[in-house]
Structure 1
Amino acid sequence: MAANSEKGYEKNRANLGILISFFKGYGSKYNPINPLLKISALEILDGKAAVEMKSVADALAPYAMAVDAREEAFAPLNKLTTKINYALSSSGLSKKLLEDAQTHIRKIKGTRKSKKALDAFIESTHEGAKTTAPTDTNQPKQISNSHLSYDNRAENLYALGTLLQSEPAYTPNEVELQTGTLLTLCTNLKTLNKNVNDVFTPLSNARVKRYKLFNDDVTGLCDIGKEAKNYVKSVFGVTSKEYKQISKLTFTKA
């Protein structure tokens, strides 16, 4: 959720607290017939708002930690797949396997197929062509959002690892490029994805409850705050000092 929205909840609740303080100062003159606008009801509403906001904050902390851990683990994937490209270029693998590997690598990086770049890479791995793999500058630049999802990237890394594991000719000396390492990394990435999903559920539920408390029609904090202001305006008048005290307090729905 956007930072501005989070601040909006804080401001709405703070403004309700200010209203309550002023209303108490009005004494018996503040006597609405609507039970939702009575000071005791407003104080209960303020307490509920505090509970729901704390629930979101408590759920947000483990979610943020899980997201950070996942981002840190996924960050090196593009460089890793570039290194795999170089390893493939010197392994003498079949054109079909190279094509399949490139499909998974593109999905891990979130790039779309570029025929010229792919053909140049395949040609570079076979007899009669240059012996070096294409550099990153030769790779297509378009980013596919669907391919960049964490789940998809982990699944394509697993598919790449199992594909290379099935090819006896792929035997790099570098440990980080070996299929066992790749598959272990994939397992770790999937675990991190699951961790994020697990902690997102309570956060989402907490946000839903907070949203309803603040934004429901009639009974939500924002509508009640506006109605309380209208009541003061009706009792004291729009030009009264009492109304001017609260006129600039806003209640904005998310």
Structure 2
Amino acid sequence: METKKTSTSEKGHAKNIANGLLLITHIEDMSETYNPSNPNLQLVKLQELHTEASKEQSKVNTSLSPYSLAVDQREEIFAPLSKKLTKLKKAYKSTLDVSTAQVEDFMTISRKIKGTSKPAKINENDTSEEKKQHSTSQLSYDQRTNNYEILISLLENTPNYKPNETEYQVDTLKNEREEMLKLTKNVGKTFVPLNNARSSRNNIMYITKDNYVETFTKAKDYLATILDTKSSQYKAIAKINFKKP
């Protein structure tokens, strides 16, 4: 199961962007006093970089909700599956003329459906690593859904398996499987734009030459050369930090 990235995951990036705007505000108040020789540190360049980073973060924010909702919806249908399989096994065992071997077959398939492992902890800012975990998770859900179909086939081909309870009937189970397929597909569909948005955001913020964090850190370093380190303005600027994940 993949970890679902919530807005909490984006706080570090948003903090860097907010701190960039705060530093720009200080620089704007300094007027002509701020005059770096490095053209990349000029106020207009910082403003452009901040605008670009803000747009990329906004793309991440708008892509995150559909993905989170898709993960929630998929989890909602898979979460009760283990308990249902336990009851389904009892319904199967109580079926007329079902053999021990058939029950063993049921249990073998059931274990495959239940078989999940906790996701490895990943660097949420490494989009390649996150994409790999997502692919692994998708495959896991695909396999569980496939095994559910195998289980349904076993029930369908058991002559006396005709439970009166709707939730255990073959048609009900088939409908559940179709819903599993649809919801798993939707997770994959919504992950693509989110992953692309994060990759683009991270590229501007941390990876490219003259990226956001490095550029604003250099601007802060330059300010330390032209301000009195005992001044209240310098002390306020000193608290503004930019961090790579």
In the superposition, the TM-score normalised over structure 2's length comes to 0.83
| Bigger shift: residues 186-195 or 234-243 | 234-243
1:253 partnered with 2:244 = yes
What residue number does 1:6 align with? 10
* Alignment equivalent of 1:185, drawn from 156, 176, 180: 176
Q: Which runs of 5+ in 1 are unaligned?
A: 111-142
1:226 aligns to what SS in structure 2?
helix
Q: Which runs of 4+ in 1 moved over 6 A?
A: none
Q: 1:237 to 1:5 in 2, by over 3 A?
A: farther
1:168 partnered with 2:155 = no
What residue number does 1:114 align with? none
Shift of 1:77: 1.2
* Alignment equivalent of 1:72, drawn from 72, 76, 80: 76
What residue number does 1:129 align with? none
- Kept in 1, the 8 Å contact 2:6–2:64? The answer is no
- Structure 1: distance between partners of 2:173 and 2:150: 10
The count of aligned residue pairs is 222
Shift of 1:245: 2.6
- Kept in 1, the 8 Å contact 2:6–2:68? The answer is no
| Bigger shift: residues 188-197 or 167-176 | 167-176
Cα deviation 1:100-146 (Å, max 9, x = unaligned)? 21012112223xxxxxxxxxxxxxxxxxxxxxxxxxxxxxxxx6448
* Alignment equivalent of 1:215, drawn from 206, 220, 241: 206
- Structure 2: distance between partners of 1:194 and 1:7: 28
Cα deviation 1:50-98 (Å, max 9, x = unaligned)? 1111101111111122122212222221222111111121123233322
- Structure 2: distance between partners of 1:145 and 1:8: 25
* Alignment equivalent of 2:112, drawn from 100, 107, 115: 107
Q: 1:201 to 1:217 in 2, by over 3 A?
A: closer
What residue number does 1:119 align with? none
Show the 5 A alignment for 1:1-254: 1=5, 4-91=8-95, 92-110=97-115, 144-145=117-118, 149-216=140-207, 218-236=209-227, 238-254=229-245
- Kept in 1, the 8 Å contact 2:73–2:183? The answer is yes
- Structure 1: distance between partners of 2:8 and 2:190: 22
Q: 1:2 to 1:65 in 2, by over 3 A?
A: closer
Greater RCO, CA 8 A, separation 6+: 2
Shift of 1:217: 5.5
- Structure 2: distance between partners of 1:3 and 1:61: 9
Read off the aligned partner of 1:44 and give its amino acid letter: E
- Structure 2: distance between partners of 1:217 and 1:241: 33
Q: 1:15 to 1:200 in 2, by over 3 A?
A: same
- Structure 1: distance between partners of 2:161 and 2:117: 28
Percent of aligned pairs with the same amino acid = 39
Q: 1:218 to 1:229 in 2, by over 3 A?
A: farther
- Structure 1: distance between partners of 2:225 and 2:9: 31
2:240 aligns to what SS in structure 1?
coil
In the superposition, the TM-score normalised over structure 1's length comes to 0.80
- Structure 2: distance between partners of 1:249 and 1:234: 16
1:223 aligns to what SS in structure 2?
helix
